[in-house]
Structure 1
């Protein structure tokens, strides 16, 4: 392989989600000092030329990003190997540390797990951090999301098959009126709306979702302006669409490091549950298969591991 081809292969090895370890070993490992200097000079996005002292130094930001890419495979393996309760407890803790931009993860854990799984996450959180989830949410979050998030993370929903259709229709009307009158009373302050979303069974809420569209002609999540309520409804009523959208955002080439982490989180947490349905919805929404998109964007052992988890759901 000519040097320019090798240079392109190495540049690609550093350019995705994870790194292509094979290229680093077979190409970068055999380059002599002249070839390595050529690599440094021809990759200004990785190296900065010090013209006064005549050498090329790693760009600090690039090094920082590469550290994250090198550990992406390790983090995926560790997360996959965890007990699901510990995994969710640690996801909640990390989201609380990161702040408002990560609060969607709290909703994801609260609304896409079964009642027993959410109870298990709360038990694990006690064990790991000597606090309750509710206690830490109350102490860390002081904004308008606080009431909703505490209610969702405290929930223990009925999971039977009985749905009272008349009640679902009535509550769809309650939600419709609350959204229509949100200029008078913000929806994040509406205890009745929060109570419906935090306590009703998922089958019941799916019936509410259906009746809401009959009333409004739009889906409930489409009518909601508040991001946290929108995410809550999607996670409770249309989780495969929600996860497909999260994955698509994470699989963009120019995505930031925090959104990149969503790729690991979603595939690891859904591989044993509904990855088959998520794959079908992803294909339906974006016209490309999820494995093909991962193959295109991810690199190395990280890519191989994710693809193996995706295949589990076939």
Structure 2
């Protein structure tokens, strides 16, 4: 059964000469010794796929009687700990935890909510919702509901439901019709009918939306982005724009997010870790190419100049190469 978390453009693939018990033993030694052997941990976790890391964790528990993730947590610290724990977490659980962190406490991290919900497929969202309930005994929908409001909440909930169509077949007639609907709901109207935007942008398949956006440009002589920027505001606008970016070019969307996390005064490790780990088996090669195209330098060199130590080494290994 192919995982919905594995694509063909990742930097990390299954390790060929894999032995879960051998790796588990090496991880145990690396943690148990005097001082942690970070090098071994980095070598193993950045060269095994997530599915293989889960098998290592299983073997580790059988041999050590303890949870590998807990041992890593108590043995490592700071950014290295965060990225290592991320690597050994199943993808759906990782997303669920990132969503929970984005909603916990006094402020909501809307950017993270938007990034995850705008970019995941329906199948992925269904797994994330299940994982969320398993881990927190609460529904993701309820937490989003109590943490957001208005049109923004409505759109997030639609995405969280995982009801976006996944077919690759496109319907030219429907694209024309829905481009009209969007035009009439926004540009043409005094006041905007936000529900129409939510319905179409959160439920139609990505290829279908691409066609609809082309038709939209024909009708309104503006891109859908320009219309959204003119008609909407706040987090709802940010979410719709994120969806449009993912429709047009998902790797470019992530390249831009990575750039924002690396530039400026401090590094946003929360975002950096999430994207590097969650895209490492899906499309990180394409994200690297887009990064180079957009910013004139490689993602590798940007990470290198912004991080240090074992944390830097780990991220560079996930990155997989310099462009």
What TM-score, normalized by structure 2, do the two folds share? 0.68
**In 2, Cα distance between equivalents of 1:98 and 1:239:** 30
Moved over 6 A (4+): none
Q: Report whether the alignment pairs 1:227 with 2:231.
A: no
Work out which of the two has the higher radius of gyration on C-alpha atoms and give 1 or 2.
1
Find out whether 1:242 has 2:253 as its counterpart: yes
Deviation at 1:94, TM superposition (A): 1.0
Aligned residue number for residue 295 of structure 2? 286
1:298 is matched with which residue?
307
Q: What aligned pairs does 1:167-182 form with structure 2 within 5 A after superposition?
A: 167-181=174-188
Determine the C-alpha separation between the residues in 2 that align with 1:313 and 1:147. Answer: 41
Alignment map for 1:265-284 (pairs within 5 Å) = 265-284=274-293
**Residue 109 of structure 2 aligns to a residue in which SS?**
helix
Conserved? CA contact 2:79–2:269, under 8 Å: no
RMSD: 2.4
Residues paired across the two proteins, number: 241
Pairing 1:19-30 to 2, within 5 Å after superposition:
none
C-alpha displacement of 1:224:
1.8
CA-to-aligned-CA distance 1:42-77 (integer Å, 9 cap, x gap): xxxxxxxxxxxxxxxxxxxxxxxxxxx951111011
* 8 Å Cα contact 1:92-1:105 kept in structure 2: yes
Distance in 2 separating the partners of 1:295 and 1:215: 46
State the Cα distance separating 1:312 from its structure 2 match. Answer: 7.7
Q: Are the equivalent residues in 1 in contact too, given 2:166–2:205 (CA < 8 A)?
A: yes
| Residue 207 (str. 1) matches residue 216 (str. 2) | no
Which residues of structure 2 form unaligned runs of 5+?
1-75, 230-236
Match of 1:138 among 131, 142, 145: 145
In the alignment, which residue of structure 2 is the partner of 1:83? 90
Give the superposition deviation at 1:300: 1.0
Specify every segment of 5 or more residues in structure 1 that has no aligned partner in the other structure, as ranges.
Answer: 1-68
> What displacement does 1:260 show?
3.5
Q: Hey, what does 2:71 align to over in structure 1?
A: none
* Alpha-carbon distance in structure 1 between the residues aligned to 2:107 and 2:238: 11
| C-alpha distance in structure 2 between counterparts of 1:196 and 1:121, whole Å | 22
Quote how far apart the aligned CAs of 1:99 are: 6.4
Once the 2 structures are TM-superposed, how far is the Cα of residue 125 of structure 1 from its aligned partner? 0.7
**SS of the counterpart of 1:208?**
helix
Change (3 A) 1:282 1:164: same
SS at structure 1 position matched to 2:104:
helix
The answer as to 2:117 corresponding to 1:110 is yes
3-state SS of paired residue (2:282): coil
TM-score, normalised to structure 1, is 0.70
